[in-house]
Amino acid sequence: MTDETSLIDMINDRLQSDGVELPVFDLVAKRVYDEVQKKDFNVDKMTRLLEKDPALTGEVLRVANSSFYKGLGEVTRISDAIVRLGAKHIASLAMATSQKRIYSTSHPRFKRRLLVLWKHVSAAAFGCRWLARKAGYLDLADQCFVAGLLHDVGKVSLLRIIEDMERSSDAHAFSDAVIDISLRELYCEHGAQLLALWNLPQVFRDVMQGQKGESFDEANATLAIVRLADKACARENVSDLPDPSVCLETSREAQVLGLNEIQLAELQIILEDAAAAM
C-alpha cells in the first residue's frame, strides 16, 4: 500500500468514525446570510445580529469607512454601515470574517499551508465578484464572492484531520507530496459534505462538486466563474497549486462567460492587488 493510499484510507476511516471534529460554521454569520435572503430584510434586526460579534462589527465599520467611500461622512453606527454597504455586501463580509477564523493553527507546517489557502480563497473570492460583474451576472456577484470563499473549505477541514492524526499515535508525519495527493482526491466530496452539514444553499455544494475535471455544467454561471478564478489564481501563483502554464484565454470557462483577452488581463491585476493587500 502506498503512502497516499494509506493516508486516504486513514482519513476515510476517521470521517466514518465519531472521533472527527469538523469545523463549525459561525452561527452569527449563518444568521446574517439567511436574513439577507429574506424579502422582508430588516436593518434593525441585522444590526442586532452584527452587534453579537465584535470582530464582525469592527470589520463592517472598517469597510464602510474605507477609501472606497472617500468623500462620504464617517460612519459610526452599524445601522448606517448596513445602509451604506447594502445587505448582500454585509452577508459577504460576514462570510469572509467567519471563514478566516477556521484558517488558523499553531502547527508550523500546517499553519503555512492554511495561510497559503487563505490568501488563495480570498483572492479568488474577489476575482469571482469581479468576474460576475464583467460577465454580466451582476445579480450573482455576491453569491460568487461567497462561492469563491468556500470552494476550498474541504481542504481546510482535511488538513485539520491530518494534523490531528499526526499528533496522535496512529500516524507518522506524512510528506507534503502525499498530503497534496490526498487533498486533491478527497476535498470536493468532503467539502460538499461539510457545506451540507452547515446547511448552506445547494448552489455552493454544486460548485464544490463541479470543480474537478475538464468538463462541467456550463449552464451554471457561478461554477464557471469559480473555476475560472481558481485557474487564474494558479497562473498568478496565488494558489496552493500554482501553474503558470494555465492559458485562460483558451479555457472553456472564459468562452462560456464571453470574456476577452483584455478582461482576462484585468482579472490578473485584480488578483495581484488582492494578494498584495493580504
Domains along the sequence of the chain with CATH? 3-21+104-276 (1.10.3210.10), 24-101 (no CATH)
User: What pLDDT does 28 receive?
Assistant: 86
Distances (CA, A) of 169 to 18, 164, 273: 17, 10, 43
Among left, alpha and beta (phi > 0; psi -120 to 50; other), residue 203 is alpha
Would you state the cell numbers that stand for residue 239, as one nine-digit string?
494558489
Q: Which of 83, 96, 99, 91 is nearest to 34 (CA)?
A: 91
User: What pLDDT does 19 receive?
Assistant: 64
Q: What confidence tens digit (pLDDT) does each residue in 2-32 have?
A: 555 688 888 888 887 766 777 878 888 888 8
pLDDT confidence bin for 1, thresholds 50/70/90: very low
Q: Which of 148, 175, 144, 149 is nearest to 162 (CA)?
A: 175
Cα–Cα dist 199/94, whole Å = 16
User: What pLDDT does 55 receive?
Assistant: 83
As a whole-number percent, the residues of the chain with pLDDT over 90 amount to: 47
pLDDT at 38 over 60: yes
φ, ψ of residue 153 to 5 degrees: the values are -65, -25
Quick check: 177 and 127 in contact, CB under 8 A? no
User: What pLDDT does 119 receive?
Assistant: 93
Q: What confidence tens digit (pLDDT) does each residue in 73-123 have?
A: 888 888 998 888 888 888 888 888 888 888 888 788 899 999 999 999 999
Cα–chain-centroid distance for residue 215? 22
pLDDT confidence bin for 136, thresholds 50/70/90: very high
DSSP letters, 204-251, are HHHHHHTSSSS---TT-HHHHHHHHHHHHHHHTT-SSS--TT--STT-
Cα–Cα dist 231/65, whole Å = 32
Supply the pTM of this predicted model.
0.86
